[in-house]
Amino acid sequence: MKETPKLNITQSRKLYEEALELVPGGVLGARKPTDFIDGEYPIFLESGKGCRLTDVDGNEFVDFLCGYGPIILGYREEEVDEAVYRQIRDKGFCFTLTQGYQNLLARKLTQLVPSSEMSIFLKTGSDATTASIRIARAHTGKLKVMRCGYHGWHDWCVEMKGGIPSKFWEDVFEFRYNRLDQLEELMALHGENTAAIIMTPFGHPNHQKMQIPEPGFLEGVRKIADQYGAVLVYDEIRTGFRLSMGGAQKLYGVTPDLTVLGKAMANGYPLSVVTGKRQIMMAAEKKLFISSTFFPNSEAFVAALKTIEILERDQVLESIWEKGAWFMEKIQGLLDAHNVGAQLSGVAPMFYITFKKDETGAYKAKRTDFYTQLIRKGFFFTPFHHAYISHRHTRADLELTLTAMDEAFAFIKDKYP
């Protein structure tokens, strides 16, 4: 199988070299060249529309990263953007006091999300997960936190500990998804002083296979939280408005005390929320302080209300599940046919192709080659993060992607006989 020619990313590299003199690392967070495949992926984008991206060198891609999750409908979704334009033009969006869209969105959440009775709106996922822990600690008067999954960049949960005194995270303990025994052991030691158990209700650990809950796992965590009087928090930043309109808790039928939402809720506009049971949420009225100049800005509320309207009106999630299930079935067929050590995990709206570890470490080279071939062919995935299906992915887009995957797997099979 012939190797796909390398992309021209000259302008991207030029901008990156310039950025290194202006921004630490050139670009922020998980957008560095080393978070993809250095020298193969663009570093700067120019535009997006629907499910497609164009980089600064003019390369076009069918995108499966969706901005790391916020794009549930599509890039430059006209109805959403027009609603925001009208708000900015006709009413404004940043004031000393709050506009009424807050109430409309909070009420909508109570209709959709099983745990939702009261809400606090913020901007980012890290804002919201940190606020949920503060609320849980204020409500219970307890200190310790049990965590499962990625919950952002703030001091209590970030994996890289540079610049953070140990006292900020020494009371936070980690357990693995689907390992109820690990949580039981931790709670036997710390349960009486545990304020919160925070977890992703669907397993999407960094750089690893995705996991659905094993029978009894979520129910077991719920029981343990009740047993020790801890607040159960679901981090549904990725799964909210994607696995179902009520999130993974609605899909799997286990309700937490607090829920953190963001990403797909506003189709790319910066908005997150802590929502949950009234008794617990009321700790935020007088026992703690959460505030920001920009938290009440209404343009993101308007975007969220319009996004949710479209999701419901056009039965978007039903369509995504149908397309995604068909796509995953076809991908699995390719894996079976080529047998190169690749494996598929996840569910229809969000999935991941990884490679089985082996003693020689060849899986890493296979992974690099597979995703290199895809990006060169014009399909934007990453080796180190799962993929998403958006509303604007068409069957034709998915068929083109399957052809590219077929060729990429064939290339690997030839290279690693």
133 with 227, same domain: the answer is yes
For residue range 345-397, list pLDDT tens digits in order. Answer: 999 999 999 999 988 889 999 999 999 999 999 999 999 999 999 999 999 99
231 with 345, same domain: the answer is no
For residue range 252-309, list pLDDT tens digits in order. Answer: 999 999 999 999 999 999 999 999 999 999 999 999 999 999 999 999 999 999 999 9
Total domains present in the chain? 2
The CATH number given to whatever domain includes residue 265 is 3.40.640.10
Angle between helices 180-190 and 217-228 (to 10 degrees): 10
386 in a structural domain: yes
385 with 303, same domain: the answer is no
Looking at residue 11, its pLDDT comes to 98
Within 8 A by CB and 6+ apart from 130, the residues are 152, 154, 156, 157
305 in a structural domain: yes
Residues of the chain by 3-state class (helix, strand, coil), percent to 5 = 45, 15, 40
1 in a structural domain: no
111 with 197, same domain: the answer is yes
Task: Quote the pTM value.
Answer: 0.97
What is the extent of the structural domain holding 260? Answer: 78-313
Looking at residue 302, its pLDDT comes to 98
Looking at residue 207, its pLDDT comes to 85
Within 8 A by CB and 6+ apart from 217, the residues are 177, 178, 180
71 with 51, same domain: the answer is yes
Instruction: Please give the full DSSP string across 36-86, using - where no structure is assigned.
Output: S-TTTS-S-EEEEEBTEEEETTS-EEEESSGGGTT-SS-BT-HHHHHHHHH
390 with 244, same domain: the answer is no
Contact 340, 409 (CB under 8 A): yes
